[in-house]
């Protein structure tokens, strides 16, 4: 959420930003509604003051025994009360509409964010490692997983419908191993590990910036008034909602959680395998820091570097792209995606995402700190996917496969894999 004064001063910029992000936002309507709300509020306050003044005069005349004048003033106060009864609902309607429209206004984007319409316009800024070359015909992760008894998609579909799966044996161990490796890496870097709610209230998702725009992607439990989170970011940010926090040092939080997404709009896309599924697990980084651009830019690079370090431990080639306006969410000020080489796609596929939101999210969640002068300021917030599985299993299996059908396990994962150095078919 942005400050209404900032919106007034930057109406054209924000309308342009909304269009570039592919959002329909009537900023002009917001400003007109806010103008009417202010005028109506002034009328309400004037009438309330007049009613209070008359009430005081009635009391004074009653004490003086001037009943006739007191009755006259009572009648006038009643008329004002009737006027208030007519106008106060209008003020509430205008106030509600302003809040509704404010939630639609997008965050501004950084000056170095590429302008573009889709992920095809994202700009590569760094490439690390070389795409894997094979001296044999490689298998995709589905064929590998099935041959090694790691993945069973057919039974996942039987049990739960499309985009579902089972992980078995070493497949489950690998799934949990990458998460524990990521968590241990973050704990060593000062992150506080957390287990978080997966069923949350609507205002939690609104405060974190996922609603109203992300409703269609989120599973609802209407009988309970709860929603399943698509990322633990919402729960982590909401931990400090409506609080004043100490960010003399950045607050670093990390959660391991299951995540659920409906994948509305992805029909026909990535239908084979584990790339786009309804249920997955993530280790998420969330940072809260001072509301200073240099500070949050430094933290953006920090959390991105953490994800890169994990990929180095997994011995996987990847690239970093600057995400363009058309591929960026409403709440993001600046975003990097990390894409890992996936041989079956003959290209890079997104496995990590890093975002700097400036104070957009903290304004919604009402998370503040005191600056050096003791004044309350909104924090900057950031988030990054340290690892998401089973998607990360795609490049892990495909890049580390061998001609005999076995899969090499990088040394960093072996302590979490019961010492296994490879996965191979066991007759």
List Cα–Cα distances, 227 to 50, 202, 236, 242, 384, in angstroms.
Answer: 46, 7, 15, 20, 22
Catalytic residue among 232, 235, 296, 353: 353
Judge contact between 389 and 178, C-beta under 8 A: yes
Q: Tell me whether residue 391 is one of the annotated catalytic residues.
A: yes
Q: Which uninterrupted H or E stretch holds 302?
A: helix 293-313
Q: Tell me whether residue 350 is one of the annotated catalytic residues.
A: yes
Catalytic residue among 276, 319, 345, 424: 276
Catalytic residue among 20, 37, 252, 391: 391
Judge contact between 318 and 340, C-beta under 8 A: yes
Catalytic residue among 37, 261, 363, 368: 261
Catalytic residue among 235, 350, 354, 368: 350
Beta-carbon contacts of residue 274 (< 8 Å; ≥ 6 apart):
141, 142, 151, 165, 390, 391, 393, 394
Judge contact between 121 and 321, C-beta under 8 A: no
Q: Tell me whether residue 261 is one of the annotated catalytic residues.
A: yes
**Distance (Å, whole) CA 113 – CA 105:** 18
**Distance (Å, whole) CA 150 – CA 409:** 14
User: Can you read off the two tokens belonging to residue 111?
Assistant: 């000056």
What distance separates the 2 farthest-apart alpha carbons in the chain? 107
Q: Tell me whether residue 118 is one of the annotated catalytic residues.
A: no
Task: State the catalytic residues.
Answer: 261, 276, 350, 353, 391
């Amino acid at each position: 959420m942005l400050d209404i004064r900032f919106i007034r001063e930057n109406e054209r910029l924000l309308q342009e930003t909304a269009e570039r992000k592919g959002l329909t936002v009537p900023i002009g309507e917001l400003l007109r509604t806010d103008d009417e709300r202010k005028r109506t509020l002034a009328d309400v306050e004037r009438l309330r003051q007049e009613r209070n003044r008359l009430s005081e005069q009635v009391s004074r005349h009653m004490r003086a025994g001037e009943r006739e004048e007191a009755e006259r003033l009572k009648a006038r106060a009643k008329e004002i009360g009737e006027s208030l009864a007519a106008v106060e609902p209008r003020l509430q309607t205008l106030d509600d509409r302003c809040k509704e429209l404010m939630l639609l206004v997008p965050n501004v984007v950084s000056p170095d964010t590429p302008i573009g319409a889709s992920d095809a316009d994202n700009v590569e800024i760094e490439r690390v490692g070389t795409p894997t070359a094979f001296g044999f015909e490689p298998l995709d992760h589905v064929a590998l997983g099935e041959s090694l008894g790691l993945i069973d998609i057919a039974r996942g579909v039987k049990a739960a419908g499309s985009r579902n799966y089972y992980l078995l044996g070493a497949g489950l161990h690998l799934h949990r191993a990458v998460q524990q490796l990521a968590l241990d890496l973050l704990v060593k870097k000062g992150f506080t590990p957390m287990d978080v709610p997966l069923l949350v209230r609507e205002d939690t998702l609104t405060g974190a910036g996922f609603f109203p725009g992300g409703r269609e992607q989120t599973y609802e439990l209407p009988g309970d008034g709860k929603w399943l989170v698509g990322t633990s970011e919402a729960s982590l940010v909401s931990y400090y909602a409506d609080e004043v926090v100490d960010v003399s040092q950045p607050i670093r939080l990390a959660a391991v959680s299951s995540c659920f997404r409906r994948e509305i709009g992805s029909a026909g896309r990535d239908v084979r395998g584990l790339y786009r599924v309804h249920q997955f697990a993530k280790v998420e980084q969330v940072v809260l820091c001072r509301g200073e651009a240099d500070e949050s830019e430094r933290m953006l690079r920090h959390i991105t570097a953490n994800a890169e370090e994990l990929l180095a431990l997994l011995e996987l080639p990847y690239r970093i792209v600057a995400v363009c306006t058309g591929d960026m969410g409403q709440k993001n000020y600046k975003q990097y995606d990390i894409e890992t080489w996936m041989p079956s796609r003959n290209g890079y596929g997104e496995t990590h995402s890093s975002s700097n939101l400036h104070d957009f999210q903290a304004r919604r969640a009402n998370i503040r700190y005191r600056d050096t002068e003791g004044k309350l300021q909104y924090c900057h917030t950031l988030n990054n996917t340290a690892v998401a599985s089973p998607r990360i299993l795609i490049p892990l299996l495909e890049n580390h496969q061998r001609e005999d059908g076995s899969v090499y396990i990088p040394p960093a994962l072996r302590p979490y894999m019961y010492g296994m150095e490879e996965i191979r078919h066991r007759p």
